[in-house]
Amino acid sequence: DIQMTQSPSSLSASVGDRVTITCRAGQSITNYLNWYQQKPGKAPKLLIYGASSLGSGVPSRFSGSGYGTDFALTISSLQPEDFATYYCQQSYSAPPWTFGQGTKVEIK
Amino acid sequence: QVQLVESGGGLVKPGGSLRLSCAASGFTFSDYQMSWIRQAPGKGLEWISYITRSGNTIHNADSLKGRFTISMDNARNSLYLQMDSLRIEDTAVYYCARTLDAGKVDYWGQGTQVTVSS
């Protein structure tokens, strides 16, 4: 299995802050990297696919970057509705695919 | 609109069995791959099973050790997960997930809770 490691595990930030979450793969996954947002008690929502493509209906303050083993999710200006847990997921290998352990974004 | 509705979860004793169902609507079910993904209490996401649109190819997580079986019925627009020899560590919310090519999930069900406890 390809291991996915996110950092940090949690962070505190204020509305309006720029926030970056990183995800590292245990081997090259080219651009087969997706990001999801999950709010408490809800199913995850696809934010970014193919490392940098914005999901349907996702605000433009979200962006993704990276290739190979190192990736990042950036929120350019944190909004109240963005406080959630974020997961990266690789889809390079054969399924079933693997997720990072998650990054919880909390209000400072 | 696309809807995925899971059912069949509940409380079961260790060693017992459960069959989860996922009723799909709002899209042509037979055109899509499908998956089951679970989330233990307070933990992250674990992709446990995947089936191609034809039903001919299945991939399961090694951690299941052959105890779970995914299947689909295109005539009923339904996905299933037969879970046998359940263990306490199988306690989780189980999500049904529409899986696009290149392994991304664009729609999720609301989840069904499975609790394994004596």
- What's the confidence (pLDDT) of residue A3? 96
Reported as type and span, the H/E element at residue A97 is: none
> Over the range B20-51, which residues count as b (16 or more CB within 10 Å of their CB) and which as e?
bbbbbeeeebeebbbbbbbbeeeebbbbbbbb
Check if the beta carbon of residue B72 is closer than 8 Å to that of residue B55: yes
Question: Which residues from chain B sit within 8 angstroms of residue A21, using beta carbons?
Answer: none
- What's the confidence (pLDDT) of residue A81? 95
- What's the confidence (pLDDT) of residue B76? 97
B90 pLDDT tier (thresholds 50, 70, 90): very high
User: Are the Cβ atoms of B44 and A98 closer than 8 angstroms?
Assistant: no
User: Best interface-test mutation with A: which of B39, B45, B106 has the largest number of A CBs within 10 A?
Assistant: B45
Q: Which H, E and C letters describe chain B, residue by residue?
A: CCEEEEECCEEECCCCCEEEEEEEECCCHHHCEEEEEEECCCCCEEEEEEECCCCCCEEECHHHCCCEEEEEEHHHCEEEEEECCCCHHHCEEEEEEEEECCCEEEEECCCEEEEECC
User: Best interface-test mutation with A: which of B104, B106, B107, B112 has the largest number of A CBs within 10 A?
Assistant: B104
* pLDDT value at B107 more than 90: yes
Cα nearest neighbour of A89 on chain B: B104
Mean pLDDT for the stretch of residues B82-104? 96
* pLDDT value at B15 more than 90: yes
Q: Which residue among B103, B108, B111 places its CB closest to the CB of A97?
A: B103
Digit-coded pLDDT (tens) for A40-71? 999 999 999 999 999 999 999 999 999 999 99
- What's the confidence (pLDDT) of residue A100? 98
- What's the confidence (pLDDT) of residue A94? 87
- What's the confidence (pLDDT) of residue B102? 85
CA A18 vs CA A15, A49, B111: distances in Å: 9, 21, 32
Amino acid at B108: W
Q: Judging by DSSP bridges, how do beta strands B33-39 and B92-100 pair with one another?
A: antiparallel
* Low-confidence residues of chain A: pLDDT under 50: none
- Give percent above pLDDT 90 in chain B: 95
d(CA B4, CA B112): 11
Looking at CA atoms only, how far is residue A9 from chain B in angstroms? 11
Which residue's entry shows tokens 């999720």?
B108
User: Are the Cβ atoms of B44 and A91 closer than 8 angstroms?
Assistant: no
